[in-house]
Amino acid sequence: MGAMLFRLMLFTLGWTLIDGSEMEQDLMWHVRKIPRLVSERTFHLTSPAFEADAKMVLNRVCGIECQKDLPAPSLSDLEDSLSYETVFENGSRTLTRVKVQGWVPEPIQNLTSQGAPVRRKRQVYGTDSRFSILDKKFLTNFPFNTAVKLSTGCSGILISPSHVLTAAHCVHDGNDYIKGSKKLRVGLLKMRNKGGGKRRRGSRRNRREVSGAGREGSQDSLKETAKAGRRRKGSARGQRAADGRPSFQWTRVKNTHIPKGWARGESGDPALDYDYALLELKRPHKKKYMDLGVSPTIKKLPGGMIHFSGFDQDRADQLVYRFCSVSDESNDLLYQYCDAESGSTGSGVYLRLKEPDKKRWKRKIIAIYSGHQWVDVHGVQKDYNVAVRITPLKYAQICLWMHGDDASCTHG
């Protein structure tokens, strides 16, 4: 079983090459020109009430078949949805209107609805295929060290020394900011020694682990990762005791950005396509982070697979990794049956592809895991676990939030 899992992971990481240029091209990151998103005007708004309850499931989601019948959004509609709210640490709030320049409408995706059978409401489908990452060597190394935990109960991912990408519903229900988000904190993974003592800061061993993060794709590392996989609850407790129980270094959030497409307020329902948010940390970290990428189509996913790690609530104090195939896609969403529980929403979905004109492989975030949703497919309500794709326009918006202007956001 272990050997079979190891071979599958090698394939999903893109190490199984087929003779010919077509397969090689499918395993490459393709540099794309990104449209410009320009801040036009900023307004001061009243401070939020911060009284909403966390809401993970929308009342109704326009699904795969529904989206086929929708007209393409106009430029003014896009500019309205990509305008954004910013909430600051002191509770003040602003609205920034944006203009889109150089945008070329995306062709309608060849939606791949497969008529999946109706499933009962759950987030783990069949055999639980999640892996608990329990070993300190993997928790403190890339890519697993990029996963973070939010004080509101969600997950997120580090995308710069000062920024965390997560799901918008983790801080806002579409009408108001949720309870606890006013003093939002982000927990970065650290390890507590078995004896409970404090770990020395800046130890040579810790620096070697971080600097060696780029080598985690070796066969030995993957074998150990697979071995660290599924655990029964009893054995997981024993493993945590042996390796040192993980804990978090909590950092306050300086400000939060949310697209207007989600933060509709009383003007309408939030759109699942805009279920993403960017958090700026009050103090920068020194961990390795994961870069943003533009989401490719299913046909260009290695093995059709995606990967993400988060803090599922049914596995307390454990980082949970999973990979699975994507079932369907639309221009803005990936529909899949990755096993996941509440707490993992907000995780960064990533791929590992080859950089153009280079021999090295690189992971990039291509979507944000939004969670379990009911969607319309062939006139029937079906449930999926859904991820919000990073399109060129969303890439431009997130990049604008990070840098304050679009000078560094021309290609992605």
User: Positive or negative, the Cα torsion across 295, 273, 40, 49?
Assistant: negative
C-alpha 248/C-alpha 270 separation (Å) is: 31
For residue 60, give the 3-state DSSP assignment.
coil
* Domain that residue 390 falls in: 26-102+133-191+244-403
175: domain CATH number? 2.40.10.120
- pLDDT for 224: 46
Q: What percent of the chain has pLDDT over 70?
A: 70
Between residues 411 and 10, which one has the greater pLDDT?
411
Highest mean pLDDT among 154-158, 236-240, 328-332, 405-409 belongs to: 154-158
Quick one: pLDDT at residue 8? 43
Q: What is the pLDDT of residue 58?
A: 63
List beta partners, residue 163.
Answer: 280
- Does 226 map to a domain? no
* CA–CA distance, 345 with 339 (Å, rounded to integer): 12
Q: Which residue has the higher pLDDT, 129 or 345?
A: 345
Higher local confidence (pLDDT), 218 or 69: 69
Tell me whether residue 31 is in a domain.
Answer: yes
Tell whether the model's pLDDT for residue 252 goes beyond 60: yes
Identity (one letter) of the amino acid at 287?
K
pLDDT value of residue 384: 83
Is 197 a domain residue? no
Which stretches of 1-65 are assigned E, i.e. beta strand?
Answer: 36-45
3-state secondary structure of 23: helix
CA 338/CA 308 separation, integer angstroms? 9
Residue with tokens 């409970």: 196
CA distance 121 to 383: 7
Tell me whether residue 173 is in a domain. yes
8 A C-beta contact, residue 389 and residue 333:
yes
Answer yes or no: is 355 within a domain: yes
Return all residues near 378 (Cβ < 8 A) that are at least 6 apart: 65, 113, 115
Distance (Å, rounded) from C-alpha 381 to C-alpha 353?
34
- What is the token pair recorded at 108? 């309608």
Closest CA to 5 of 215, 218, 225, 217: 225
Sorting pLDDT into bands at 50, 70 and 90, what band is 401? very high
User: What pLDDT is attached to residue 137?
Assistant: 82
| 315, HSE (Cβ side, Cα atoms, 13 Å) | 28
Total domain count, the chain: 1
pLDDT of 368 above 50: yes
The answer to whether residue 202 sits within a structural domain is: no
pTM score of the predicted model: 0.79
Over range 292-320, report the average pLDDT: 89
Beta bridge pairs of residue 320: 132, 310
Q: Phi and psi for 366 in degrees, rounded to 5?
A: -120, 0
Radius of gyration of the chain (CA): 21
298: left (phi over 0), alpha (psi -120 to 50) or beta: alpha
Q: Output the pLDDT for position 360.
A: 86
Q: Are the beta carbons of 187 and 248 closer than 8 angstroms?
A: yes
pLDDT of residue 56: 59
Strand partners, 76: none
Query: Do 312 and 340 contact (CB within 8 A), yes or no?
Result: yes
pLDDT over 90 for what percent of the chain? 42
More confident residue, 184 or 360: 184
| pLDDT mean across residues, the chain | 78
Considering only CA atoms, which of 146, 110, 196 is closest in space to residue 311? 146
Q: What would the pLDDT profile of 85-123 be if each residue is shown by its tens digit?
A: 999 999 999 999 999 998 877 665 544 444 333 333 445
In a domain, 286, yes or no: yes
Q: Measured over all CA atoms, what is the biggest interatomic distance in the chain, rounded to whole angstroms?
A: 61
Each residue's pLDDT tens digit, 181-236: 999 999 998 876 555 444 444 444 444 333 333 333 444 444 444 444 444 444 44
Q: Is residue 153 part of a domain?
A: yes
Residue type, 332: D
Confidence of residue 245 (pLDDT cuts 50, 70, 90): low
Instruction: Give the C-alpha separation, 89 to 283, whole Å.
Output: 13
Q: Percent helix, strand, coil in the chain (nearest 5)?
A: 25, 30, 45
Q: What is the mean pLDDT of residues 302-320?
A: 88
Q: How far is CA 96 from the centre of its chain?
A: 24
- Looking at residue 97, its pLDDT comes to 97
Look at residue 19 in the predicted model and tell me its pLDDT: 36
Token readout for 118 is 């109706």
Distance CA 70, CA 66 (A): 7
- DSSP alpha helix (H) spans, 161-259: 204-211, 219-227, 233-243
**pLDDT given at position 377:** 67
Query: In sequence order, which ranges of 27-103 are alpha helices (DSSP H)?
Result: 64-68, 75-82
Is 211 in contact with 243 (CB distance < 8 Å)?
no
3: left (phi over 0), alpha (psi -120 to 50) or beta: alpha
Looking at residue 375, its pLDDT comes to: 73
Query: Is 186:164 a contact under the CB 8 Å cutoff?
Result: yes
Confidence tier at 319 by pLDDT (50, 70, 90): very high
Position of tokens 């007209």?
A: 71
